[in-house]
Amino acid sequence: MNSPAVVPADHAAAAPVTVAHKFGGSSLADAGCFRRVAANLRERSEREQVIVVSAMQGVTNALLALADAAVAQTNDWQNDWAALRDRHLAAAAALTGEASETQDWLQLRFEELHGLLNALSVLGAPSREALELIQGLGEVYSARLLADHFRREGEACACLDAREVLLVAHGELGVSVDWPASSARLADWRSAHPEPRIVVTGFVARNAQGRATTLGRNGSDYSGAIFAALFDAAELHIWTDVDGVLSADPRVVPEAVPLATLSYHEACELAYFGAKVIHPQTMTPALARGLPIYIRNTFRPHLPGTRIAAESTPDGPVKGLTLCPDLALLNVEGAGMIGVPGTAQRVFAALRVAGVSVVMISQGSSEHSICCVVRAAESARAQTAVADEFAAELARGQLQSIGVVPDISVLAAVGDGMAGTPGVAARLFDSLARARVNVRAIAQGASERNISVALASKDAERALRAAHAGFWLSPQTISIGVIGPGKVGAALLEQLQEAIPRLRREANLDLRLRALANSRTMWLDPLGHAPEHWQAHLDGATEACDLARFAAHVRTEHLPHAIILDCSASDHVAAHYADWLAQGIHVITPNKHAGAGPWPRFQAIRAASAATGARFRYEATVGAGLPVIQTLRDLLDTGDSLHSVEGIFSGTLAWLFNRYDGRMPFSELVHEAHALGYTEPDPRDDLSGTDVARKLVILAREAGLPVSLEQVRVESLVPASLAGVSREDFMARLGEGDAAMQARHAQATAAGKVLRYVARLDQSGDAQVGLVELPGDHAFAHLRLTDNVVQFSTRRYASNPLVVQGPGAGPEVTAAGVFADLLRVASSLGARV
């Protein structure tokens, strides 16, 4: 028989160490929440649990409102007092049973509160001591409720009123703890209360004079850290209603992700600039003792939350971004400041005397100006204080101005990994520039742990989303509006539907269809959905199409980027492009009316794009899905010079003349092409040659030639007698042109040639479009069905022209060209495609 294993004495006696837990008001909203908290704690195996609790959700505000109402001598406070009492009594009944000792205790406490409120009502003025006593009562009630619930369940539990042991002092830097005295008092209390589970009132304490006081707002978290230190706990778990510290405010960035780890310094930076999960003061006791803090979700206790400790895992240069709103920019400018020692000291001394806290400081190396960010509520006081300090210099003209810019927010990028990592600031400012966000002031500490920028509050949400995506903490989000869901638009929406999940998964790109419009109605969606139900959305739309409102909706402030995809063939829509681009909305289109429209409008479009950086992409206007414009641009951008362009630019006309052999009437082929979707809704748009002429104008302008549509010599294939009739009449009478076409074909055949509809442009800008006879061995004579072909003759490609050839008609390939432009723009905005 094997001998039993021998367990060392120290291991045999080992047990889980002391762990402190702090539960916020949202975790203690009602009796059900108290039960959930108790159940979570029972499932843990710590040797000793120190449980610091806040007031029930909303109770602290309710107590302060009671005090204010009593001082104002209104009668409303009596009813509000009764409602607050009944809420606690109901919770006690649910947790400890009807007619329990807990209910009796609460009834007595609320009668004491009633007497205190009556005294305030008589006095008509509150004392600070009375207010601090009242606002801390919620924690006292919560602690008793939770402790008595544990006792009712048969578990040993002590309830510690923090005012019995915790001594604090209030100073300029906040609340400081008298650690020796508090430790001694706790040791005395603990000798009489040895229970392994202790429920402690958060937020409350006593001062050196023995009067009840509080630790200020967010004081319950601070209490958690204080008692974790006093009990020498191994860990502090702060339980709230989020899954941990998030990479950004989820109300602004829904894609924000929980952070697995943070250093104390990272957490302090994020907390200072507005992250609501933890207060910087909470970290003070933890920093001194190396105490790890865990931010956990009471309602999802299986999640690990965020661990805050001395060091964090290097997940990237930036861990999180946060916004601090409701600020103002105070700017002191003057040539008299240059090289004068003590100027900055005088500015900040004046602010200190005025009781103004400075959020951020920035000064140029020229010393011509000092600017600092202050709370908006303190900005007027700050301006007056600094103006008074420099009154003499202002009078003498040594300082030019002391001004305040309102409606400022500060965006902060935080991460220990920023230190020593090149390009972090560049990526931040590149992301903001792409989102068209102007930066008013910049600050970065020598630790390189934080880059802060001041910007207009109206741009703040867009800036946060853009920066969050720029550091790949969330997908690059683009707001999209589609105009013209005809054949091309419908094909594009189907392609988007298929690709959106893959792009989000593989390219970190979040395309949101937020608006859809035809010539009559439009559908606007505040969130942005996948396009699988686009037809139903548009069919159910009742709002008349308003392109100005459409664009304003697409360019929402809370999303960083906006793109309008115009799949119409409308000149009216194209007339809006310059305005959209001026607003920073990217425009992508197969609509040729902009690129080949009036020359002044085209210039305005280019100017607006250049001024704002918004992209105008129109590859699909010439070759559908073929890279015709991009090829021409590559040639010219690399220093080549264009001699001529020749090509078959119409997939419709290519198909018709590839098929036409004289045996079938030409009109029958046109009907067949129309049925296959190769032609425009009105085939005259193809047969007139105007569509080909527009494509030639677009290429000419891309080559730097100021060609207008009126300058192109165009041969129309539409019989003159049918040019002005309705589309229905045209389709019915199409055969009237068959004889003339038959004669042209016979003439070409007799000469051993074929008919092709060709566009030609030379380097002088001479442009012509028409039906020509080509030798049977010509490159244009052997195209496949709807193929387009473009032949570039350049200085480099003189003897052997560069040819681009492929399918140039059909909704799918045109939509693919638009989609490709969309991805190019997304890539330029930082998406990984």
Alpha-helix runs per DSSP H in 52-75: 59-71
Q: Are 449 and 266 in contact (CB under 8 A)?
A: yes
| Residue burial 155-167, b: 16+ Cβ < 10 Å; e: rest | eebbbbbbbebbb
The share of the chain scoring above pLDDT 70, in percent, equals 96
- The answer to the question of residue 256 being in a domain is no
Whether 490 and 553 share a structural domain: yes
> CA Rg, the chain, in Å?
37
Same domain, 34 and 150: yes
In this prediction, residue 446 carries a pLDDT of 66
CATH number for the domain that contains residue 151: 3.40.1160.10
Indicate whether 457 belongs to any domain.
Answer: yes
Binned at pLDDT 50, 70 and 90, residue 680 comes out as confident
| Summary mean pLDDT of the chain | 90
Q: Is the pLDDT of residue 624 over 90?
A: no
Query: Residue 9 above 70 pLDDT?
Result: no
Averaged pLDDT, 221-230: 94
Domain membership of residue 293 (yes or no) is no
pLDDT given at position 4: 35
Q: Report the CATH number that the domain containing residue 347 is assigned in CATH.
A: 3.30.2130.10
Whether pLDDT at 601 is above 80: yes
Is 829 within the bounds of a domain?
no
Q: What domain count does the chain have?
A: 4
Q: What is the pLDDT of residues 96-124, one digit of tens each?
A: 998 899 999 999 999 999 999 998 888 87
Please determine, for residue 505, whether its predicted confidence score (pLDDT) is greater than 80: yes
Choice among 18-27, 214-223, 462-471, 569-578 with the minimum mean pLDDT: 214-223
Do 95 and 183 share a structural domain?
Answer: yes
- pLDDT above 90 covers what percent of the chain? 64
The reply to whether 258 falls in a domain is: no
Cβ-Cβ contacts under 8 Å for 457 (sequence gap 6 or more): 325, 326, 327, 407, 408, 409
Domain around 180: 18-241
State the alpha helices, DSSP H only, in 665-776: 666-675, 684-687, 690-702, 727-732, 738-750
Residues 638 and 593 in one domain: no
Angle of CA points 6, 10, 11, to nearest 5°: 60
Answer yes or no: do 504 and 370 share one domain.
no
Same domain, 557 and 693: no
Would you say 510 and 476 are in contact if contact means Cβ atoms under 8 Å apart? yes
Is 60 part of any domain? yes
The terminus-to-terminus CA distance of the chain in angstroms comes to 67
Q: Which of 446, 472, 498 is the last residue of a domain?
A: 472
Band (pLDDT 50/70/90 cuts) for residue 229 is very high
What is the per-residue pLDDT for 474?
A: 81
Where residue 86 falls among pLDDT bands split at 50, 70, 90? Answer: very high
Last residue of a domain, one of 209, 241, 273: 241
Which tens digit of pLDDT belongs to each residue from 263-290?
988 888 887 766 666 777 888 888 888 9
Indicate if 647 and 549 belong to the same structural domain: no
11-28 pLDDT, tens digit per residue, is 334 444 899 999 999 999
- For residues 330 and 382, is the Cβ–Cβ distance under 8 A? yes
Is there a single domain that holds both residue 606 and residue 651?
A: no
Alpha helices in 72-127 (DSSP H): 76-96, 101-123
- C-alpha to C-alpha distances, 286 to 52, 267, 280, 319, nearest whole angstrom: 16, 12, 11, 20
Maximum pairwise Cα distance, the chain: 119
SS (H, E, C) 183-200: HHHHHHHHHHCCCCEEEE
Of the listed ranges 355-369, 460-474, 485-499, 530-544, the least confidently predicted one is 355-369
pTM over cut 0.85: no
Q: Which of 564, 585, 617 is the last residue of a domain?
A: 617
Residue 49 pLDDT level (bands cut at 50, 70, 90) = very high
pLDDT at 186 over 60: yes
Q: What was the pLDDT predicted at 6?
A: 34
**Would you give the distance in Å from CA 764 to the centre of its chain?**
49
- Answer for the pair 138, 55: CB distance below 8 angstroms, yes or no: yes
Q: How is residue 306 written in tokens?
A: 């965020």
Residues marked active site are found at: 695
Residue 283 lies in a domain: no
d(CA 720, CA 231): 98
> Is the domain of 633 the same as that of 770?
yes
Name the residue with higher pLDDT: 487 or 6.
487
Distances (CA, A) of 698 to 210, 564, 649: 84, 20, 12
Same domain, 94 and 207: yes
pLDDT digits (tens, 9 = 90+) for 509-568: 999 999 999 999 999 998 887 788 888 888 888 899 999 999 999 998 878 899 999 999
Which ranges of 290-417 does DSSP label H, i.e. alpha helix? 343-353, 379-389, 391-396
Predicted pLDDT of residue 274? 60
Residue 804 · residue 672 · CB < 8 Å = no
| Whole-angstrom distance, CA of residue 325 vs CA of residue 358 | 14
* Same domain (yes/no): 66, 106: yes
Distance (Å) of CA 510 to CA 502, 506, 569, 648: 10, 11, 27, 37
452 contacts 360 by C-beta, under 8 angstroms: yes
Q: What is the pLDDT of residues 404-455, one digit of tens each?
A: 999 999 999 998 888 878 888 898 999 999 888 999 999 887 667 889 999 9
Statement to judge: residues 413 and 513 lie in one domain: no
CATH classification of the domain holding 715 = 3.30.360.10
More confident residue, 75 or 400: 400
- Asked if the structure places residue 153 within a domain, the reply is yes
pLDDT tens, 722-763?
Answer: 988 999 999 999 999 999 999 999 999 999 999 999 999 999
